[in-house]
Structure 1
């Protein structure tokens, strides 16, 4: 399987920086036992899962591999996922953010290039969108708005890309990749960070289609992007912050967030105001059984949480991963 050559890249630095979170902040987190179990296993000894999505029609769950970009699928009742798309297919080297839209298309983010769109029933690539130029980039996560538009975060440049249904249809009619271009630039809103720091990471779309929420992983802030204007504002947080936040899930005014924090594996739950301008943390659990959670999806009355194990011989640290790789089920 493909071995990622950028073991000490900015994403590594961003997660590893969590080691220096103040002891007072860590002491405020109370471990919660008995809520974390194993939902299913993922075959392979160097998978290091990163992204997850659920098909709204079938309930099938898809998981993307950080190393090699393989996509795995598990159906209800299965205990071991099966390979859906092989590693390296269509030039894909990493699979980060995943999303399944209402038309049963699987959107897969490849950190170095852009995003690929697959027809699930046919197992077929239907479109690719790539970022032009040779500049270093980290295309990261994706959210699908109610109108079918996809929004994708770029973590080095603090921009949000956009793919409309019209752009998708046009890309399907042409051979070769289509350009992935920025729609919203948050560079002027995100607080200054060290060079190459990870900024925008997880992203979700409000069910009303009125706004997006995206998190600054390094700064701990949550931003609201109004649609379609792109007007940006900082969400007023209470009860905590979102430092070292990764993937998110938004349902009925509740926001769940994965925190891949070394030595304090955590998931937080937030109550979001009706207009998306405020968010209050209502619960935070920590459990080493989360194994560096990168993202999550709400399903079956709980959360399916990706156990990345990035710190066990993966992109964050040395060591030996606990096999098999797996997805956790968490009640929060």
Structure 2
């Protein structure tokens, strides 16, 4: 889910190192998630084989397709299992599908065949589960509503209950809108769009500190971490009172305590309102949610991010 940010961003001029060349394949630049009204797609996950999953913030549905085909189809119907809203989505090493249920306050976990594995409710009023990151033994979920970072164990076939891993008091400043999250070993990077900060979370010690960001900010919606390269979907003033969206690329230090924003993608307009990103081979894909469009209309799409790899 998206929170708009109103301050300007200045980018450094340093050129980013190139990604390794990857073989080109004939894949579409635009994917149709749905042609139905009110879908408002939000989260995306893409497997190495090219299977794409996209959630619906509007209905709670989950759509599935392949990056070689332009059309996605319904995979998990809207409203089933109480899933009336859906935000972040990720898969674990078993192929299980983890879905953050936004203001339902619920984490849903599904088998690859679509059968329900677990349904875990955050035991706090006002919880809004936004994004998540899956590790070998746990899933971590950001809560935009209460400022809590939740954790559930995933060891073996069982998914544990949601436990508050960090409370608002555990952050240097009480979060205003926790959003994107990525995990690298024992460290998580968590974006707070409310305070416009990026936090480094030592997961075993359950301790958060501020990442010093130069050349811009990484208070992002969706985050993607690849080595020392951190991608984030941000929004910013584009002039004449308008807001635009882009993917910013930052280079992290080895200990994940500093970040330097070095590059920005081609922008997207407010009515498109991209939310989050996923890697598909040499390309980045982002979801056009239309969440900030006063008159959202189908088709709802996923497209290639331009001007950045």
Settle same-fold status: TM greater than 0.5: yes
Whether 1:203 aligns to 2:181 is yes
Q: Is the 8 A contact 1:38 1:326 kept in 2?
A: no
TM-score normalised by L of structure 2: 0.85
The match for 1:6 is none
Whether 1:280 aligns to 2:260 is yes
* Structure 2 gap segments, 5+ residues each: 14-27, 237-241
Decide which structure has greater helix share: 1
Q: Is the 8 A contact 2:230 2:250 kept in 1?
A: yes
The match for 1:301 is 282
Q: Is the 8 A contact 2:126 2:146 kept in 1?
A: no
Whether 1:169 aligns to 2:142 is no
Q: 2:137 and 2:74 mapped to 1: Cα distance? A: 27
User: After the TM superposition, which segments of 4 or more aligned residues of structure 1 sit over 6 Å from their partners?
Assistant: 26-30
TM-score normalised by L of structure 1: 0.79
- Aligned to 1:237, what secondary structure does the other structure show? strand
Q: Is the 8 A contact 1:263 1:288 kept in 2?
A: no
Q: How many residues align?
A: 285
Q: Shift of residue 28 of structure 1?
A: 7.1
Q: 2:158 and 2:209 mapped to 1: Cα distance? A: 32
Decide which structure has greater strand share: 2
The match for 1:267 is 247
Structure 1 pair 26–236 and aligned structure 2 pair: CA distance change class (3 A): closer
Whether 1:82 aligns to 2:73 is yes
Whether 1:181 aligns to 2:158 is no
Q: Is the 8 A contact 1:54 1:60 kept in 2?
A: yes
Q: 1:205 and 1:299 mapped to 2: Cα distance? A: 19
Q: Is the 8 A contact 1:101 1:148 kept in 2?
A: no
Of residues 213, 220, 239, the one that matches 2:196 is 220
Q: Shift of residue 186 of structure 1?
A: 4.3
Of residues 142, 151, 159, the one that matches 2:140 is 151
Structure 1 pair 62–325 and aligned structure 2 pair: CA distance change class (3 A): same
* Structure 1 gap segments, 5+ residues each: 1-10, 31-36, 172-177, 313-317
